[in-house]
Structures are given as structure tokens and as C-alpha cells.
Amino acid sequence: MRVALISEHASPLAVLGGEDAGGQNTHVAELAAALVDAGHEVRVYTRRDAPDLPVTVRAPDGFDVVHVPAGPAEPLAKDELLPHMREFSHWLVERWRGGDWTPEVIHAHFWMSGLAALSAGGRTGVPVVQTYHALGTVKRRHQGVQDTSPARRVAYERELGCSVDRVVAQCRDEVGELVRMGVPRSRMTIIPSGVNLNTFTPLGPAAERVPGRARILTVGRLVERKGFQTVIRAMAHVPDAECVVVGGPPAGLLESDPYARRLRALAASCGMADRVRLVGAVPREEMGRWYRSADVLVAAPWYEPFGLTPLEAMACGIPVIGTAVGGLTDTVVPGRTGDLVPARDPRALGTAVQGLLTDRIRRFGYATAALDRARRCYSWAATAEKLAEVYGEVTAVRRPTRVVAG
Ligand code: UDP
């Protein structure tokens, strides 16, 4: 099939770890590669955010990345992109009407991509599949006034859910959220993200360790909702271990990052400056080294639409202690591959981590089961196969799509 993936702010070619570059970029890159492996033709459409970018770039994994001119050719925060989605969708329509390549299905990633997809799909008669990656309702609930999303985000997300040909949710928690928003369950299929089982393996080089110290690893964009403060506070209950934080700006720029400075100040005020280490952004191909160097991955977000890092750790044979939120409640099996604790509770987190670090036999059991679960349930090949089934279904039965915006 000819598949157009739309990912307005998250390019599969981006460097990860920065504020708006994380799981969606990885997801789109891995999904595109897996679809190509399965014999599909894939183009990923993302916003042109630098003046010197060629319109089309062939990625090493065999898909094309198309840079769509929409708004200024410079980086913009994702919350500023909505006004440029009309231009984005018009460009797609012109390309697909006049060019030699028209998709048979459009798969939109994130809600603004969905608006562009629905508009372009409506004009060209191509069905649209929607994956949200994150929901405005959840963000608003947790971030309150700090949420800078456009005011109409939640309304658009609801309309999208009721208008696209299929919603692909990534976990059961997301389905519940969408149903509460008023999106009918019958319009949804659950297909989780995968993990790259060639990149993330238990065997291979590991980052250096401090002799005699257990290592807790925590990974993510340096944003508050990832719960790094909870992890640092939890270290009070985990004597003799170090906490390594991967993600954020490159190491050289950590000093000028306000949140990184806050985390370091917190560690110092808890008397843990020598046990908490921020290493900054790590290239995707180096992530396996860091997972393999750890005794446990801790993922302590307030909320998490899916969460790739726990799966990546599991595929490296590392147990996960996470908060019982979002996708983690599907990927982590408490008492078998890791443990789940309430969010924002340093004592519960620290106690769970310390319990696991002091129980070698349980840690070994979790590690083995985590690896097994990642391999059995979360390969990208399986994700691509299930998605291709959905693509086949929506192209076989066309229902009229409605233009929401632009
Ligand atoms: N990542 C990376 N380098 C970093 C930090 C993160 O390559 O320094 C990758 C990580 O391996 C994962 C993604 O970024 O693939 C983060 O995805 P996740 O779903 O955990 O979080 P999100 O960023 O979507 O909130």
C-alpha cells in the first residue's frame, strides 16, 4: 500500500531528548521502517523547520521524509503550529492532486496532523487513520494553567475522533479517556507501539559504572511531568545507589537549561548531589548502552500516553519500576516484569526500588520476564502488521469524511 504518515512537529529524522522531540519521533521512524519492511511504500510528511532542508529526503530505512512548507522555516514550539495547519493541508492536496504519488491511506500522528489529514483526505478521497500520542484532556487535568495548548484542542480532538475513518489508540487507558470524551468505542482499535528488538537487546556494550554502586536509570525529555523530581526525592530511600538521568539538551547545554538546573539544585538540597547525575541527550543508537548499564529503569511520570522508554529497557532485559499511569499499566506487569506505584509519591517509589535492588532473585526473574514480554508482545513487525490490517479495512469501506479545519 501507499501510506502517508503525517507527523507535523515530530520528524523521524530529528535529534531526540529536547522539549518537543521524543516518543512520537521514534514511533514514526520505527513504524515507517517496519511498514517498508512489510512491503509498503511510505512517505512521512513533517513541517519544514529549517531553510536548507530539501523537500524530500530518503531515510536509510527506505521511506521518504517530505518537508512541508507551513509557517516559517524555523523551529516553532508545537503549541504554536495550529495556525499553519491550513497551509500544511493545502500543500498536501496540491501535491497529491498534481503529482505522481497519491497515498491510499493517511495515518495522522498527533491532533494537529489529524486536522491537516482530515482536510486533505476529504478533498482527495483518501481515508484517514488517527493516532493521538497525547490527549489535551489529560494534559489539562495534570498541568492546569501551565498547559499552553490551543484553547480548542480538546474540541478538535473529539471532532477528529468522530470524523476520521479509524482511531488507533495505543493502550487501554487511552481508550477510556477517549470514550469519556465522547468518541465511540466502535471507532477505535488498540495497537500499541513496538520496540526495536535489533537495537534494544540484553547483549552488547554497557555504559561505565561506578564500582560498588547500584544504578537507577531514568530517561526522558526534561519536562516536569516526567517526574524526575519524584525520582530524586525517592533516592533518600535508596542508599548506596546512583541515579542517572538521560535526556534533555546535549550535555554541554545542561547548565543553561532551567529545569536541569532545578533538578541539580534539588539533588544538592537533598544531600544527593554526588548520587544524581544528569548526562543530557543521548543519540538514539547509544540508548541501549545506558539501559544495559542499569539495575532498574525508573519511569515516574504524572501521566504517560504510552511511554517507549520502559519497553526499550525491558527489551534490554532491565526491570521497570514505574508509576501506574497510562501506557505503563499495559506494558509493565506488576510482580512479574516490574512494579507500579502511585505517581508523585517518592516514598512508595523509593521503597519499591530499594526492595528490588536488595532482592537479586526477584530482580533476575523480573528481568527475564521483561525481556520475554517485550519480544513476544511488542515487535514493530507485529505493530505494522496490525496497522496494515486497519489500513486495508478503511480503504475497503469508505465512509464520507468531514473537513474539520483548513
Ligand atoms: N530518547 C533518546 N535520547 C534521549 C532521550 C530519549 O533517544 O536522550 C528517546 C527514547 O529512547 C525514546 C524516546 O526518546 O525512544 C522517548 O519516548 P517516550 O515515549 O518514553 O517519551 P515521550 O518523549 O514521548 O514523552
Q: Are residues 340 and 387 in the same domain?
A: no
Q: Are residues 57 and 174 in the same domain?
A: yes
Antiparallel, parallel or unpaired: β 41-47 and 2-6: parallel
Residue 208 lies in a domain: no
Residue 116 lies in a domain: yes
Torsion of CA 252, 23, 135, 217, to 10 degrees: -70
**405: pLDDT confidence band, cut at 50, 70 and 90?**
low
Q: Are residues 346 and 389 in the same domain?
A: no
The response to whether residue 309 sits with its C-beta less than 6 Å from ligand 1 reads: yes
What pLDDT does residue 19 have?
61
Residue 204 lies in a domain: no
Residue 65 lies in a domain: yes
Q: Are residues 47 and 130 in the same domain?
A: yes
Q: Are residues 259 and 326 in the same domain?
A: yes
Mean pLDDT of 5-14: 95
**2: pLDDT confidence band, cut at 50, 70 and 90?**
very high
The response to whether residue 308 sits with its C-beta less than 6 Å from ligand 1 reads: yes
Q: What is the mean pLDDT of the chain?
A: 95
For the cut 60, the answer to whether the pLDDT of residue 400 exceeds it is: no
The pLDDT tens digits of the residues spanning 303-328 come to 999 999 999 999 999 999 999 999 99
What pLDDT does residue 103 have?
97
The pLDDT tens digits of the residues spanning 94-129 come to 999 988 799 999 999 999 999 999 999 999 999 999
What pLDDT does residue 397 have?
79
Residue 350 lies in a domain: yes
Nearest by Cα to 380 from 113, 198, 189: 198
For the cut 70, the answer to whether the pLDDT of residue 207 exceeds it is: yes
For the cut 70, the answer to whether the pLDDT of residue 404 exceeds it is: no
Q: How far is the CA of 108 from the centre of ligand 1 (A)?
A: 20
Record the pTM.
Answer: 0.93
With the most atoms of ligand 1 within 8 angstroms of its CB, the residue from 24, 26, 380 to mutate is: 26
Q: Are residues 166 and 104 in the same domain?
A: yes
Split into its structural domains, the chain has a count of 2
The pLDDT tens digits of the residues spanning 326-375 come to 999 999 999 999 999 999 999 999 999 999 999 999 999 999 999 999 99
**158: pLDDT confidence band, cut at 50, 70 and 90?**
very high
Q: What is the CATH number of the domain that holds 262?
A: 3.40.50.2000
Q: Are residues 219 and 183 in the same domain?
A: no
What pLDDT does residue 399 have?
54
Q: Whose CA is nearest to atom 24 of ligand 1?
A: 23
Q: How far is the CA of 90 from the centre of ligand 1 (A)?
A: 31
Q: Are residues 65 and 179 in the same domain?
A: yes
What pLDDT does residue 21 have?
72
Q: How far is the CA of 22 from the centre of ligand 1 (A)?
A: 4
Residue 201 lies in a domain: no
The pLDDT tens digits of the residues spanning 255-311 come to 999 999 999 999 999 999 999 999 999 999 999 999 999 999 999 999 999 999 999
Q: Supply the range of the domain harboring residue 264.
A: 214-377
The pLDDT tens digits of the residues spanning 131-145 come to 999 999 999 999 999
The pLDDT tens digits of the residues spanning 54-103 come to 999 999 999 999 999 999 999 999 999 999 999 999 999 999 998 879 99
Residue 199 lies in a domain: no
Where do runs of H (alpha helix) occur along 164-305? 172-181, 228-234, 258-269, 287-292
Percent of all residues in the chain with a pLDDT value above 90, rounded to a whole number: 94
Point out the least confidently predicted range of 14-18, 242-246, 384-388: 14-18
Q: Are residues 46 and 120 in the same domain?
A: yes
Predicted ipTM of the assembly: 0.98
Nearest by Cα to 283 from 260, 251, 253: 251
The response to whether residue 71 sits with its C-beta less than 6 Å from ligand 1 reads: no
Cα–Cα dist 247/53, whole Å: 25
What pLDDT does residue 17 have?
55
Residue 202 lies in a domain: no
Cα–Cα dist 75/27, whole Å: 20
What pLDDT does residue 244 have?
98
Q: Are residues 237 and 361 in the same domain?
A: yes
Mean pLDDT of 371-394: 98
Q: Are residues 190 and 236 in the same domain?
A: no
Q: Are residues 322 and 340 in the same domain?
A: yes
Cα–Cα dist 372/388, whole Å: 25
| 3-state SS, residue 177 | helix
